[in-house]
Structure 1
Amino acid sequence: MSVEIKIVRKNIKYIRVSATTETLLVSAPKYLSERDILATVREHEAELLKLIEKERSKKYVNNIGAGEIYLFGELLEPEISKTLTSEVKVEKFYREKLEEVLKSIFLEFNNMTGLVQDEYKIRKMKARWGTCYPTKKLININLFLAKRPIDEIKLVVLHELVHLKHPNHSKDFYSEIAKYIENYREVQRRLKE
């Protein structure tokens, strides 16, 4: 198994396993030997790998070496992903694809809301999906939003556009968002996972 396995011994009766995108966390009874714990993990390897894949798909984590690259919430076809052999190539690909999608999403919400930015930029950001500078009418969109499903991208665009009218997160701000995306809370929850 090519993932990190962390073993934590506890006062429990049975082995419990949880997963992150890169690690299996094995909670095991104090009395079990490491050999027995690892034997149990190997015995259930297929199921545990599925658990990790499930976590990765929730987070849209790319594994470039394995050809697993997400675009708009879906794994790319192998013939496309095998051409994207470095982070630089993936980022260039994301920028092109996100630009295509953002043009139509911004146009859709500009027409729907009457709110229009002067400019939007695609940037690599670590902590936010988007930012808005209302006085400049400038919106920045995170490059890695290209991994996420279209409904999540639409919510980020609308969220930032509504900041042109309501520069805070007031009740009026969320009421404005709800006019255009009724299930925004559910989409927002997925974005925060």
Structure 2
Amino acid sequence: MPTAERTVTIQGEAVAYEVRRSEEASQVRIDAGMDGITLVVPEGREVNTDEVMLEKGDWVLKQRERFARYRDQMPERRFEEGEMFPVLGAEREVVVGNVLFSHITEKEIRLDSSRVEATSVKEELERLYREEARNYFTERAKHFSEVLGVGYEQIQIRNQKTRWGSYSQRNGTLSLNFRLLMASADVIDYVIVHELAHAEHPNHGPRFWRLVEQHVPDYEAKNEWLKENGPRLVFDASTV
């Protein structure tokens, strides 16, 4: 998707932001994340991007300050044996040993030493996270697609910087961030329900939130938890 970098002065402060054109977007929106501010514009629509940023100036400055604080909260991961990484909300110790295959137990992340030697702790750990995420997310998505009465064509496991998931009504793709596996099971369920609900309601209107609430009554608490704790669900802080 085409992107461009711009800078606008808001209340005397220079604010850098990225403009991203999207075929999926139905309306102009501003995303704030660990890597900065992004203005998302539907493909084919012409807008004055600086004016949009200025209209939301107070919000933009608050979000920039908020994510600056979050960057200070990010854990510094060491990719070595003995380091702790969260899986489904619980910290697990990385152990490298002679095992048949890398896998996760209730207390440990056991990495196959031969695979680590062929690549690295970091690469094998990320491969395992992605594999476990696909298996777990697929199971939960299947469950909730039946419960909600909606469908999807495929699941993509990604490492989105600013989003935990997305759903494309155009091709039925459910995209989920592999780092979401670090969160607790109920938070993961909320994100999956949220994205699958977009199969029925593309926007965040009242009917959308009513559908989400039917299956996750405390969705607001889950959403707030992600906002406050998302910075801690980091795999490699150097890439954020």
What TM-score, normalized by structure 1, do the two folds share? 0.64
RMSD over aligned CA atoms reads 2.3
Q: Aligned pair in 2 of structure 1 residues 152, 59: CA closer, same or farther (>3 Å)?
A: farther
Q: Show the counterpart of 2:10.
A: none
Counterpart of 2:186 in 1: which secondary structure?
A: helix
1:125 Cα shift?
1.0
Report the more deviating stretch, 138-147 or 71-80: 71-80
In the TM superposition, what is the alpha-carbon distance from 1:60 to its structure 2 partner? 7.3
CA distance in 1, matches of 2:76, 2:208: 31
Matched with 2:186 is: 151
Residue correspondence of structure 1 range 96-111 to structure 2 within 5 A: 96-111=131-146
Tell me the residue number matched to 1:91. Answer: 126
Structure with greater helix percent: 1
Percent identity, please: 23
Q: Distance in 2 between matches of 1:175 and 1:60?
A: 35
Higher mean displacement: 80-89 or 113-122: 80-89
Matches within 5 A, 1:1-193: 62-65=77-80, 66-79=82-95, 80-81=108-109, 83=111, 86-193=121-228
Q: Where in structure 1 do 4 or more consecutive aligned residues deviate above 6 Å? A: 58-61
CA distance in 1 between partners of 2:162 and 2:121 (Å): 23
CA displacement at 1:184 relative to structure 2: 0.7
CA contact (8 A) 2:153 2:171 kept: yes
Q: CA offset at residue 158 of structure 1?
A: 0.7
- What's the secondary structure of 1:76's corresponding residue? strand
SS at match of 2:213: helix
- Figure out how many residues of one structure are paired with residues of the other and give that number: 137
User: How far did 1:59 drift?
Assistant: 6.4
- Tell me which structure has the larger Cα radius of gyration: 1
Distance 1:116 1:175 in 2: 18
Partner-residue secondary structure (3-state), 1:104: helix
Measured in 1, the distance between the counterparts of 2:205 and 2:122 equals 38
Equivalent AA in structure 2 for residue 73 of structure 1: G
TM-score with structure 2 setting the length: 0.52
CA offsets, 1:79-131, max 9 Å, x none?
Answer: 44473763212211111111221122011101111011011110111110001
Residue aligned with 2:226, SS: helix
**Any conservation in 2 of the 1:67–1:82 contact (CA below 8 Å)?**
no
